[in-house]
Amino acid sequence: MALTVVVVPFTATIFFYLITGYFTLRIFSNADRAHEALLAACYLTCWEVFLRMNNVLFFYEMIKYLVLIFMSLGIFYRGFSIKSLPYVIYLLLMIPSIVVASQAIPLGESLRKAVAFNLSGPVTLGVVAIYCYQRNIEVKRLDEILKISVGPIAMLMLYLFLVTPNVRDIVTSTASNFALSGGYGPNQVATALGIGMFICFARFLRERDFWTNVIDITLLIGMTYRAWLTFSRGGVITAAAMIISVVITIFILKRSSFRVSMLPKLVVLAFGVVLAWGFTSLVTKGLIDKRYANQDAAGRIKEDLSTGREELITIELEAFAENPIAGIGAGQVKYYRAKKDGILAASHNETSRLLSEHGAIGILSLLVLIFTPLIYRFSHRRNTYFYAFLIFWFATINHSAMRIAAPSFIYGLALLNVIPDRKKKRSIAKLNRWEKRGFRRSTSVPIIATPST
């Protein structure tokens, strides 16, 4: 598909509408019995950057709206947990900022566009959270959804290999590189590739088939290499944090036999990543080393580690200080910034944007988003990826806001109630019945995985 898009660019539009139509038909025909809505939303979320890069979408925020539609269909067919009330409250807390914005919007500007651009991400998060909260999903089904969703990210990776110029000719500084990011925002490209890196890593650990492992680690190293070449650090560092969190979770929750079998794979992966870094350093003439050491091309330490974001955050905090109760209104921070320094720029940080545009209500919204999943975790501990999903959401909104659908959607995945596969549950129930009848487990019978795994 990536090669076809390079040769005939219009096929990207054909692929998009055919696949979207296919997912829609699956949801309607199966009434979301196998979490088709979740599959559709996950696939399109992972595909969003590629679609934007190729100007496929009818309008810029289209994927967020499709995710909203798919999640709403899932809620319609399967309902939702009454305990998801905190996220209903979270959605209601956005209303005051719309009222304030309606009074402050500059003449000639569209209130609808300003509000929709800034609230589409938060609203998507709220609806995804309502769909996912305490929704039962088997381990196998969640892994299937993630496996299928790595496809569009692999397509993005291959597309970058095909269309970007020679690395040695194009890299001359340590700044984020648009040319090596397919002409699109390096931050968003690195974020999408980071999702792929994490999924491939998770599959690499879980799968036992040799050739499947070869495919996963090849994709993982390829995505890591292309993410490094964007010279955008946020997505790469976030992916690394997700991977570390999964390793720690597995060492705490899994059986000792699984932990031991995992170690050789980690060694192989570490060796592959070191080789990939050495190659990347070679083709970038050492500039990638300087980028991650926060140096410019001449080797001088950069004073601003945030690459200009610190100044934007400072202005947003000033807006909060001036309007601490209800904020300055949804979508108004860019106009406030234009008055302050003459630059009309969107926010890079969702946390500071919440404070500036929503005031104290924004703080309450943030507390709901942080503490609801953490409290939920006390009684639902089977989701191995819980902390990884939560880390992705929080790290991404603080370096890239909610410009793409990924942080909104992946936050919801942390709220799923992951349950053992039906075959495992039947095996456990059968053994329990045998024990009640007086039979004892033979030492030759393998131990069945406990629910915590």
Enumerate the domain spans of the chain. 2-419
Residue 56 has pLDDT above 70, yes or no: yes
- Each residue's pLDDT tens digit, 347-361: 678 888 888 888 899
Average pLDDT, the chain: 87
Mean pLDDT confidence for 262-288:
93
- pTM of the model as a whole: 0.89
Q: How confident is the model at residue 246 (pLDDT cuts 50, 70, 90)?
A: very high
Residue 431 has pLDDT above 60, yes or no: no
Residue 436 has pLDDT above 60, yes or no: no
Q: How confident is the model at residue 108 (pLDDT cuts 50, 70, 90)?
A: low
- Each residue's pLDDT tens digit, 391-418: 999 999 988 888 899 999 999 999 999 9
Share of the chain above pLDDT 90, in %: 58
Residue 330 has pLDDT above 70, yes or no: yes
- Each residue's pLDDT tens digit, 129-153: 999 999 999 999 999 999 999 999 9
Range name among 214-223, 280-289, 329-338 with the lowest pLDDT average: 329-338
- The pair of structure tokens assigned to 124 is 């998507």
Return the pLDDT at 342. 66
Range name among 48-52, 158-162, 176-180, 422-426 with the lowest pLDDT average: 422-426
Return the pLDDT at 445. 39
Q: How confident is the model at residue 165 (pLDDT cuts 50, 70, 90)?
A: confident
Return the pLDDT at 453. 40
Return the pLDDT at 452. 44
Residue 446 has pLDDT above 50, yes or no: no
Residue 84 has pLDDT above 90, yes or no: yes
Q: 442 or 335, which is more confident? A: 335
Residue 432 has pLDDT above 80, yes or no: no
Q: How confident is the model at residue 85 (pLDDT cuts 50, 70, 90)?
A: very high
Return the pLDDT at 21. 96
Range name among 119-123, 154-158, 292-296, 332-336 with the lowest pLDDT average: 332-336
- Give SS3 for 404: coil
Return the pLDDT at 193. 97
Q: How confident is the model at residue 5 (pLDDT cuts 50, 70, 90)?
A: very high
Residue 305 has pLDDT above 80, yes or no: no
Return the pLDDT at 117. 78
Rg (CA), the chain: 23
Cα–Cα distance measured from residue 24 to residue 400, given in angstroms and rounded to the nearest whole number = 29
Return the pLDDT at 444. 38
Range name among 198-207, 291-300, 355-364 with the lowest pLDDT average: 291-300
Q: How confident is the model at residue 441 (pLDDT cuts 50, 70, 90)?
A: very low
Mean pLDDT confidence for 89-112:
79
For residue 115, the surrounding DSSP H or E stretch is helix 111-132
Return the pLDDT at 106. 66
Mean pLDDT confidence for 16-32:
96
Return the pLDDT at 107. 57
Q: How confident is the model at residue 304 (pLDDT cuts 50, 70, 90)?
A: low
